[in-house]
């Protein structure tokens, strides 16, 4: 049987005691992370070597004796902090990340804990339990915490793997990772769509549908800009500054949520209406390096759309094909196949084919070509 990893993002409603314990745990994991990062740096300077993650974990019980407050929090979260540190190091050596930074109070307001299962007197115990019926999640040391979200879901089928507890702008959240069985519907190819990822519109489909980036018309960015100006005027350390900072954090979260929902809405519709989806391969590295794209808050990352499309297609047994990004989809006439090399100029939005006389909208024509390329790939996959 196939399984998939699904994430559930829930708003937590902890009691005051639980809040205190969450804050403490965040503090303890930060302490562990920073302490061992410092040790790693020093060891490396003196001997050119540093301890493995497992050697560090062995030191945890000793540390808990030295600092008894460490024993008050979920011990799994401390181990996970060391795994995270190890991960950050590995990424650095693979040149995926900058050198790991020390965590301060502003960032790293979260901790991760794994679901630990054991059997005692023929009874199975799990350290994390997610109960959609009663809307409570059981977490190590915190016990039952109320949550809200997924109103229509009443039961969970699958295994909880881990949970990340997060404090953000004064609110508490948990993301729970669950391994769920995947029941694939039968694949019946009835419809196909080509997607051109645009500059003006976000996506143009081969059905001549234009999906706009509605984030650009929202006022959140303006609000953030205004708040940031206000922040610059505040005295460092003042109460007002703190208040504005909190407001900025909330506005960012709102923007992030709007973006997330938009991506889900767009991809949900595409996957629901089509059995085969074809898109261009993305030059992700290039896309992130372009500053204007990475920096603008109201942009929707196409790479994220692709990622979501990929897993939604997988879960619903639809096919997603990506075609070579060097395929000249916007230069070829979708009517007769003539290649018009003059179209390299991106400012040309409409053109007439010199061979057959058809008039094309640049992006719609491109998406039709992309659809045909995908159809070719699908037909080939049937032959092999
Ligand atoms: Zn033509």
Is residue 39, in this structure, part of any structural domain at all? yes
Task: Answer yes or no: do 295 and 352 share one domain.
Answer: yes
Residue 199, pLDDT above cutoff 80? no
Q: Name the domain count of the chain.
A: 2
- What order do you get walking across the sheet with 319-323 strand by strand? 210-211, 203-205, 192-197, 276-280, 319-323
124 and 6 within one domain: yes
Regarding whether 69 and 165 lie in a shared domain, the answer is: yes
Report pLDDT digits (tens) over 18-31.
999 999 999 999 99
Find the domain containing 87 and state its range: 2-182
Q: Are residues 196 and 178 in the same domain?
A: no
Judge whether 253 lies within some domain. Answer: no
First vs last Cα of the chain: how many Å apart?
25
Residue 318 lies in a domain: yes
In the predicted structure, residue 287 carries a pLDDT above the cut 60: no
| Per-residue pLDDT band at 293 (split at 50, 70, 90) | very low
Task: Report whether pLDDT(15) > 90.
Answer: yes
Over the chain, what is the mean pLDDT? 89
Q: Are 280 and 197 in contact (CB under 8 A)?
A: yes
Q: Are residues 125 and 210 in the same domain?
A: no
> 277 and 176 in one domain?
no
Same domain, 114 and 202: no
Report if residue 339 sits inside a domain: yes
pLDDT of residue 11: 95
Residues 207 and 158 occupy one common structural domain: no
Domain boundary among 126, 160, 182: 182
Are both 22 and 134 inside the same structural domain? yes
Residue 190 makes CB contacts below 8 A (sequence gap 6+) with 275
The answer to whether position 223 is within a domain reads no
317 located within any domain:
yes
SS (H, E, C) 270-324: HHHHCCEEEEECCCHHHHHHCHHHHHCCCCCCHHHHHHHHHHHHHHCCCEEEEEC
Q: Are residues 201 and 164 in the same domain?
A: no
What is the mean predicted confidence (pLDDT) over 177-187?
90
Report if residue 284 sits inside a domain: yes
Catalytic residue positions, numbered: 196, 280, 363
26 and 48 fall within a common domain: yes
Cα distance between residue 95 and residue 92, in whole Å: 5
State the angle between helix axes of 16-47 and 75-93 in degrees (0 to 180), rounded to the nearest 10.
Answer: 40
Establish if 353 belongs to a structural domain: yes
Quickly list DSSP for 172-206. EEEEEEEEEEE-PPPP----EEEEEE-SSSSEEET
Q: Is the pLDDT of residue 9 over 70?
A: yes
For residues 128 and 16, membership in a common domain is answered with yes
pLDDT at 290 exceeding the cut of 80: no
Decide which of 159, 182, 205 is a domain's last residue. 182
Which among 158, 182, 206 is the end of a domain?
A: 182
């Amino acid at each position: 049987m196939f399984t998939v990893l699904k994430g559930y993002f829930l708003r937590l409603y902890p009691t005051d005691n639980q809040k205190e314990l969450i804050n403490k745990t965040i503090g303890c994991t930060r302490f562990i992370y920073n302490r061992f990062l410092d040790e790693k740096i020093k060891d490396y300077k003196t001997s050119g070597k540093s301890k493995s993650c497992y050697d560090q974990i062995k030191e945890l019980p000793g540390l808990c004796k030295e600092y008894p407050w460490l024993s008050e929090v979920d011990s799994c979260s401390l181990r996970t902090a060391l795994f995270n540190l190890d991960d950050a190091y590995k990424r650095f050596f693979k040149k995926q990340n900058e050198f790991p930074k020390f965590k301060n109070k502003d960032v790293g307001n979260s901790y991760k804990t794994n679901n630990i299962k054991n059997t005692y007197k023929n009874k199975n115990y799990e350290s994390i339990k997610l109960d959609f019926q009663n809307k409570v999640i059981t977490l190590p040391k915190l016990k039952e915490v109320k949550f809200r979200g997924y109103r229509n879901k009443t039961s969970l089928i699958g295994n909880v793997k881990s949970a990340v507890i997060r404090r953000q702008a004064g609110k508490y959240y948990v993301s729970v990772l669950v391994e769920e069985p995947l029941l694939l519907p039968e694949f019946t190819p009835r419809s196909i769509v080509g997607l051109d990822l645009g500059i003006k519109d976000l996506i143009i489909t081969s059905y001549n549908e234009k999906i706009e980036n509605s984030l650009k018309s929202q006022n959140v960015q303006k609000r953030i800009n205004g708040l940031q100006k206000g922040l610059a005027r505040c005295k460092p350390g003042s109460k007002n500054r703190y208040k504005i900072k909190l407001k900025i954090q909330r506005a960012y979260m709102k923007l992030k949520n709007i973006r997330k929902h938009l991506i889900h809405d767009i991809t949900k519709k595409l996957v629901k209406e089509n059995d085969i989806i074809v898109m261009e391969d993305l030059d992700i590295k290039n896309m992130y390096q372009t500053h204007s794209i990475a920096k603008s808050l109201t942009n929707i990352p196409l790479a994220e759309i692709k990622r979501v499309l990929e897993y939604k297609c997988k879960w619903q047994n639809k096919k997603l094909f990506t075609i070579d990004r060097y395929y000249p989809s916007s230069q070829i006439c979708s009517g007769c196949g003539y290649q018009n090399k003059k179209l390299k100029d991106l400012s040309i939005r409409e053109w007439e084919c010199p061979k057959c006389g058809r008039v094309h909208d640049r992006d719609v024509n491109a998406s039709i070509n992309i659809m045909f390329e995908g159809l070719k790939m699908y037909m080939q996959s049937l032959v092999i």
